[in-house]
Amino acid sequence: MLRFGNDTIGALEFSVTWEKNGARHEERFIGRRFNPVNDIFPRGMREALEGKTAGESVTLTYEPRLCIPRFRESKVLRLPMDRLRKKTIRAEPIVPRVGRFYPQGHIDGLLDVYPDTLTPFRLTELAADGFTADLNHPLALIPVTFEARIQYLEKRDVGTYGSITHWREATCDWGPGMQARHEGRPTDFFLPGFFDRQCADDAPPAPPAPDARARENIAALRARFLQPGIRVLDVSPCGPVPSGDFEAAAAVQVLEYAAEPDALLRTVADRLPSGAPVAVFFTDRWDPAQVIHGWTDLHAFERMGLVLEYLHRAGLDRDARTVSIRNDWRDRDDPRFLETRGVSDPVFAVCGRKR
């Protein structure tokens, strides 16, 4: 039986969990090609995995600075407005908003930062004469729990070491933490035109179907958060909310097309008893003609933050939580297998209960 060690390679399923502002968050990320000889693991994880077999896992909890880079006051910068480069999207200027994340390359004059640098910063204050940019990792002050489960193992070819992967960076550095509010304050998402759509007619949206693995992941999360056998209100991306009494609600690829999400979710809330669970699911693919403009302007993890705001305003955010599943395997017979390099559509879930 193969055991994790320097003579093996394989895949790991990482799960990172943390809590902030009373909400629980989970990131699941498939480490597709680990190499114990070269790769950089979170502190103590490489040693804990030694000798483990496929299906076994290890779990470690890290206080701030022991896994995520430490918070530094020197990385919270108060800068004049002329340091913020003028950028555009769809030929329209990007208007800075408090709480949003932007690439550090948008700031002029940062050491070792270039106009195309994508590492994010959070805009935490904004005034006529300047802004505050927090360049710290969004999880810098939060304890995180890291689980690594061995998905499969195989013998490493003698003398073959491959590339180096830093697994904390791969799992945590491009999104996790962005879905939470800054210091409990709502993020200013809503620019004028946020709910506009490319197509002005009333044609129903045609969401692209997620690949088979993504559909399986959505089904598994739905079963996890919505107890089987209960009456579930399945919200449609078009048409009215059904009347009647329900015990839970689910929305799959719906809110990215909602021009009036507050009204929609309040109607959903009216159909549910107190404590009823609500689950919202989406991927990174949508109908470009019917998606609201604001949705496409956001980072994927900010979209989870947007949905959390929707749930809060509708009174559906009790026991709130988010789940992201990224870098999973796509079926080899999928027509987009080569185009996507075998990576499944990411899945994002935001869940809560009626207050």
Domain identity same for 47 and 152:
yes
Average pLDDT, the chain: 95
pLDDT of residue 162: 65
> Does residue 42 fall inside a structural domain?
yes
Domain identity same for 232 and 121:
no
> Does residue 204 fall inside a structural domain?
no
> Does residue 290 fall inside a structural domain?
yes
Mean pLDDT is lowest, of 21-35, 49-63, 155-169, 334-348, for: 155-169
Residue 254 main-chain phi, psi, to 5 deg: -120, -50
Q: Is 285 exposed, middle or buried (0-12, 13-18, 19+ CB in 10 A)?
A: middle
Domain identity same for 288 and 334:
yes
CATH code: domain of residue 31: 3.10.50
- Cα 355 from Cα 338, distance rounded (Å): 45
Q: For the chain, what is the domain count?
A: 3
pLDDT tens, 277-334? 999 999 999 999 999 999 999 999 999 999 999 999 999 999 999 999 999 999 999 9
Domain identity same for 295 and 344:
yes
Domain identity same for 125 and 227:
no
Domain identity same for 166 and 307:
no
Domain identity same for 154 and 13:
yes
- HSE of 183 in the Cβ direction (CA atoms, 13 Å)? 7
pLDDT tens, 79-106? 999 999 998 877 788 999 999 999 999 9
Range of the domain at 55: 8-65+141-172
Among 117, 347, 79, CA closest to 221: 347
